[in-house]
Amino acid sequence: MVKPPGEVRILIADDHAVFRYGLRTLLESESGFTVVGEAVDGSEVVPLATALKPHVLMLDLAMPRLTGIEVLRELSSSANGQMRTIVVTAAIEKRQIIEALQLGARGILLKSGAMELVTKCVEKVLANEFWVGREVVTGLVDYLQKMTTGMEQRVGPGSPDFTPREREIVSAILAGRMNKEIAAQLLISEDTVKRHLSNIFAKAGVSNRLELAIWSTKGSA
């Protein structure tokens, strides 16, 4: 996804009114950005995202009722078009960063630096980049491998017999594309993408996109 023509529609999800106000004020001071809604607890996020169809979701991790991670899990199984999610949080552990990226987050931004970096972060995720902390992550696979160093991993090297179509989908996954984008790129349905993914995961001996990314650094796809 590249920056859409016209206004960039942004949904803010945070239970702290002062922070929401500051973030809205900052975003709307930038030409081309419009805040289309605010969620004050996690249970509101998916319905608002579905109704408002924002281009970007700014999501706090420490939300009441549903945590940010739980919201990401719901969003990953729902149809929200090409919305990009940026996690904005006061503190985050390494394992949470990995899980958030696994569940589809495109940016991780600490609140201590949000006001300074938020505009740049939004622009980068709209340009299909990943953003973690204070900088763009240009090599997501390498980044994930470094993040998981020393952590328990269930994946290992191998040389599965991927079909040409499966190889195309693996390449798209490693480029950070979501199912809808892969379907559009390859001119197939999202259901077909999901079926291919099931076969790919089974052949590689992994269970999700994150493990596939880590596996790809150990064995050639």
pLDDT digits (tens, 9 = 90+) for 82-131: 799 999 988 777 778 878 887 888 888 888 776 778 888 898 889 888 88
In the chain, which residues fall in CATH 3.40.50.2300? 8-138
Q: 107 with 113: CB under 8 angstroms?
A: no
Kind plus residue range of the DSSP H or E element containing 163: none
In the chain, which residues fall in CATH 1.10.10.10? 164-216
Q: Average pLDDT over the chain, rounded to whole? A: 81
CATH number attached to the domain at 8-138: 3.40.50.2300
Q: Which of 184, 182, 171, 111 is nearest to 140 (CA)?
A: 171
For the segment(s) 164-216, the CATH number from 3.40.50.720, 1.10.10.10, 3.30.70.3270, 1.20.1300.10 is 1.10.10.10
Q: How far is CA 98 from the centre of its chain?
A: 11
Q: 84 with 107: CB under 8 angstroms?
A: yes
55-59, 63-67, 127-131, 195-199: segment of lowest average pLDDT: 127-131
Residue 102 CB neighbour total at 10 angstroms: 17
pTM, whole model, 2 decimals?
0.65
Q: Would you list the DSSP string of 53-98?
A: --SEEEE-SS-SSS-HHHHHHHHHTS--TT-EEEEEES---HHHHH
